[in-house]
């Protein structure tokens, strides 16, 4: 799939418990999806086999492990992920400047994506863990810190995409979860956006999970989202 294909802007979250379910979802949607996201659930269950299944389908792998550890461990873990050839790997920006620097120095051709503030944390919870000043302030500060440590990719709510783009410029690669086609079930996501609006807000890669995974016809759901992305890109 080349970079002009709308599917190259879609990452399908393989939020499933085993390899069989992951392979089925990959097979059903592969034609419309360029990247598959392996998260903590699947990686804990089956490990590198999940990454291999994505690569065997000729797709890119987004390894969403949200690493957060001391610099030496970060560097070595990132090097292991890079040696598997994953296209994207997430790290927590709160791991701090030294850990993030070690991570970026060991990433090779894997693009690191910094997670600033989990979207599940509200101001009260941030205060409880010692991050005062509210989420907006924390996102800005952590994104800047990660940028200074060499990261150029970020996971962000589509609602913060335009502000982050304005702050960081064109070089930033912005990945947005919480995508919902108009009329679909929001689930536990609080701040959602349609695929077209997220592209319009400057998102480079859209993470989509349940709207495809839980559809009665996942291939059709993925094709629909790809069509919406294509229309938005044409505008």
Query: Interface residues with ligand C5P (CB under 6 A)?
Result: 13, 15, 39, 118-119, 155, 177-178, 187, 189, 207-211
3-state secondary structure of 6: helix
Give 40 or 70: the residue with its C-beta nearer to ligand C5P. 40
Contact criterion met (CB below 8 Å) for 196 and 175: no
Give 6 or 211: the residue with its C-beta nearer to ligand C5P. 211
Q: How far is the CB of 96 from ligand C5P (least distance, A)?
A: 20
Q: How far is the CB of 101 from ligand C5P (least distance, A)?
A: 23
Q: How far is the CB of 132 from ligand C5P (least distance, A)?
A: 21
23 is catalytic: no
3-state secondary structure of 229: helix
Of 24, 60, 66, 190, the active-site residue reads 66
Give 137 or 189: the residue with its C-beta nearer to ligand C5P. 189
Give 71 or 227: the residue with its C-beta nearer to ligand C5P. 227
Q: What CA–CA distance (Å, rounded) separates 71 from 38? A: 23
Q: Where are the alpha helices (DSSP H) in 30-122?
A: 40-46, 48-56, 71-83, 97-105
3-state secondary structure of 36: strand
Q: Give the residue nearest to ligand C5P (CB).
A: 209
Q: What CA–CA distance (Å, rounded) separates 219 from 49? A: 23
> What one-character-per-residue DSSP string does 117-176 give?
S-TT--HHHHHHTT--SHHHHHHHHHHHHHHHTT--EEE--HHHHHHHHHHH-TT-EEEE
Q: How far is the CB of 189 from ligand C5P (least distance, A)?
A: 5
Buried b (16+ CB within 10 A) or exposed e, 38-56: bbebbbeebeeebbebbbe
Contact criterion met (CB below 8 Å) for 157 and 138: no
> What one-character-per-residue DSSP string does 19-32 give?
HHHHHHHHHHHGGG
Give 15 or 28: the residue with its C-beta nearer to ligand C5P. 15
Q: How far is the CB of 72 from ligand C5P (least distance, A)?
A: 26
- Catalogue the active-site residues: 66
């Amino acid at each position: 799939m080349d970079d002009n294909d709308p599917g190259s802007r879609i990452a399908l979250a393989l939020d499933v418990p085993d390899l069989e379910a992951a392979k089925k979802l990959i097979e059903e949607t592969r034609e419309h999806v360029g990247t598959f996201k392996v998260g903590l659930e699947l990686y804990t269950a089956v490990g590198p086999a999940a990454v291999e299944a994505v690569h065997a389908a000729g797709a890119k792998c987004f390894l969403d492990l949200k690493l957060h550890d001391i610099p030496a461990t970060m560097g070595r873990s990132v090097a292991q992920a890079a040696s598997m050839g994953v296209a994207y790997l997430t790290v927590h920006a709160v791991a701090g400047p030294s850990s993030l620097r070690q991570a970026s120095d060991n990433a090779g051709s894997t693009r690191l994506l910094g997670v600033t503030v989990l979207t599940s944390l509200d101001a009260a919870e941030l205060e409880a863990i010692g991050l005062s000043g509210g989420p907006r302030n924390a996102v800005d500060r952590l994104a800047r810190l990660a940028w200074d440590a060499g990261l150029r990719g970020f996971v962000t709510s589509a609602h913060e995409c335009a502000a982050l783009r304005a702050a960081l410029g064109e070089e930033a690669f912005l990945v947005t979860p919480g995508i919902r086609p108009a009329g679909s079930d929001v689930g536990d996501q609080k701040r959602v956006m349609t695929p077209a609006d997220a592209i319009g807000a400057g998102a480079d890669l859209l993470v989509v999970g349940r709207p495809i995974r839980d559809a009665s016809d996942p291939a059709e759901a993925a094709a629909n989202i790809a069509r919406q992305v294509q229309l938005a890109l044409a505008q």
